[in-house]
Amino acid sequence: MNKTLVHFLTTIFLAGIFGLVLPWWSVMIAALITGFALPLEKVKVFLTPFLAIFLYWGIYCWVLSSNNDFILAKKIARLFPLDENPYLLIVLTGIVGGLAAGTSGWLGKELHTLRK
């Protein structure tokens, strides 16, 4: 399997496991470990964990919210304000998780480089 894909899937897998016991920064730990253990090159260092968590969080909250007719998501989207649009809130959630994962993935890679 393609190394990037493995990295991508491992990040999601670890985030899912850690998310059961750790606070929100479980995604940072997941990306840090994956970045360290399965180092990628260049922009992929950031982009792969970013996309992995962007999709993981985005899909997860879409599932939770669509099962409840987006009642709360619409209200929170009004609060931010995101025009009462639940999809924009889902995208924002994905970006938040993605940023956290992307930066810690990069840190993981840097730590990997340091070890050599």
Partner 1 sequence: MKHRGLLLSLLLCGVIFYALNNTVGAVPPLGKFLNPHTGIWQNETNETVAGEVTIPGLNDRVTVHYDAQMIPHVFAQNEHDLYKAQGYLTAKHRLWQVEFQTHAAAGRLSEIIGEKALNYDRTERRRGMGYGAEQSMVYMEKNDPETLELVQAYADGVNAYIDQLTPADYPVEYKLLDYAPEAWSPKKTALLLMYMTKMLAGRDSDLAYTNMRHLFGKEQFDLLFPDFFDHTDPVIPQDTDWSFIEVPQTPTPATMVVMDTIATTLPQPHPDNGSNNWAVSGARSASGKPLLANDPHLGLNLPSIWFVMQLSTPEHNAFGATIPGALGVISGFNQHIAWGETNATRDVTDWYKITFNDNRTHYRYENSWREITPRIETIRIKGKEAFKDTVLYTHHGPVVYDKNFMSDKQKSGYAMRWIGHDGGNHQKTFIDLNKAKNYDDYAKALQYWTAPSQNFVFASTEGDIALWIQGKFPNKWEGQGKFLMDGSRAENDWQSFIPQRFNAHTKNPARGFVSSANQHPVDENYPYYVFNDGYETYRNRVINDFFQSKATFSVEDFKALQNNNFNLKAAELVPHMLDVMDASTLSPKEEKLLEEIKAWTFNNDIDEKGPSIWRAWYGALLPLVWDEFDRDDRAMKKPFDYQTIQLLKTQPSHPLMDWGATPDKTETAKDLFLIAFQQAAEKILSVEKEKGSYAWGRYKATYAGHLLQGLPAFSRFNIPIGGDRSIVNATAENHGPSWRMIVEMTSPPTAIGIYPGGQSGNPGSKYYDNFIDDWAQGNYHQLQFFQNATPSEDLLGTLTLKPTTHE
Give me the residues that bind partner 1 (CB under 8 A), please: 19-20, 23-28, 57, 60-61, 64-65, 67-73, 75-76, 78-79, 89, 92-93, 96-97, 99-100, 103-104, 106-107, 109-111, 113-114
Which residue lies nearer to partner 1 by CB, 1 or 21?
21
Which residue lies nearer to partner 1 by CB, 2 or 41?
41
Upper half-sphere CA count for residue 66 (Cβ side, 13 Å): 8
Which residue lies nearer to partner 1 by CB, 9 or 64?
64
Minimum CB separation of residue 95 from partner 1 in Å reads 9
DSSP string of 60-88? HHHHHHHTTTTHHHHHHHHHTTSTT-HHH
- Angle (CA) 48-4-95 rounded to 5° is 10
| Distance of alpha carbon 19 from alpha carbon 61, whole angstroms | 13
Which residue lies nearer to partner 1 by CB, 10 or 73?
73
Minimum CB separation of residue 8 from partner 1 in Å reads 18
| Distance of alpha carbon 98 from alpha carbon 71, whole angstroms | 24
